[in-house]
Homo-oligomer: A and B are copies of this chain.
Amino acid sequence: MGKTIGDIGEFGLIEFIRDRLGEQGLIVDVGDDAAVVATNPGDFVVATVDDIVQDVHFTLDYPPRSVGWRAIASSSSDIAAMGGKARFFLISLVAPEETTFSWFRRFLSGATDFARRFNLALVGGNISNGDSIRVSTTTLGTIPPGHIKRRCGAKVGDIIYLTGAIGGSQAGRIIFSETKNPRLRLAKRHLFPVPRLVEGKILGAVFAVSAMIDISDGFLQDLGHILTNSDVGAYIDIDDIPLFPGVDRFCRERGLEPIEFALSSGEEYELIFTAEEKYASGIEEEIGEEKVIPIGEIVAKKGIFAKRGGKLIKFPQAGWRHF
């Protein structure tokens, strides 16, 4: 058995974290009462918090790096979904004192690897004793006032776009729980998701984007938030829903319907956004053609509809619920 975090102690852990801090815009770091960061004058501050809880969002079988990575992926995705630039994060870790230092070290690597890749700075945190592991991550971003993309704003006739293929995260979760093999392509999609931080920020600057959200609870549920807040409905082209590679086969092997599976898969972190069709080519130039996938249209009739076998069906707004 290696050292535990109880052996290292709170101040030892803080020293360890301090050596791994980001620096951009950081004025006062974790050694003090609070972090102080600089933002651009005129920009608003975007703030969000998300939790990853042991035995709810992960188990101790998970690579610790994945827990750290997902903690920050999830909350920084929310900043992108507003059209903002994720810049700083604070991590609050509750863990039993028997937690190994090795687990802690790899957990922190996961968070800082993500931060390095996307240019975020870890600026603060807290460590408390508790009976199981819970990670709460607050991400702060900045946004010029005119760039804010809300859930309301979608208008009848707008096209609904997706930034990428879905279904992989949920399939990966199941495959990882069966195989415990973190190297499988689908498992990786679940363990180390790549939210659309760059694309979200660019789409924030595109005036034509009328509403935006990230897929955290599942496509149907998250699109549902746009529809409810915009007081509209949606018609979905089933055949246009892009499936993550391997999801089709994964579903057929298990007797699941691939599209239905993908439409309720959570933690995908692709963005759903709406815009008038005439702006599509302009948006494609900004973020790349392959990331502007039209999958439906905003309609006046409330609900989410699609045609299947020549018949109009209505989807339930199903997805991940936290209770």
Contact = CB atoms under 8 A, between A and B. Distances in A.
Given A51-B92, A56-B130, A92-B136, A44 B27 contact: yes
B323 A84 contact: no
B129 A56 contact: yes
Contact of A90 (B28, B79, B138): B138
Given A49-B136, A124-B48, A143 B36 contact: yes
Contacts of A143: 36
A253 interface: no
A129 B141 CA distance: 26
Measured as residues with beta carbon below 8 angstroms from the partner, the interface class of chain A is 35 or more
A140 B36 CA distance: 10
A106 B301 CA distance: 40
Interface in A27-69: 27-28, 31-39, 41-42, 44-51, 53, 55-57
Contacts of A92: 49-51, 92, 136, 138
Interface string A309-323: 000000000000111
A53 B37 CA distance: 28
A73 interface: no
Contact of A49 (B28, B138, B148): B138
A97 B56 CA distance: 12
A219 to B, nearest CB: 15
Interface string A93-122: 010010000000000000000000000000
Give 9 closest A-B pairs by Cβ, nearest first: A34-B48, A136-B136, A41-B41, A33-B81, A138-B138, A33-B78, A51-B128, A10-B322, A92-B136
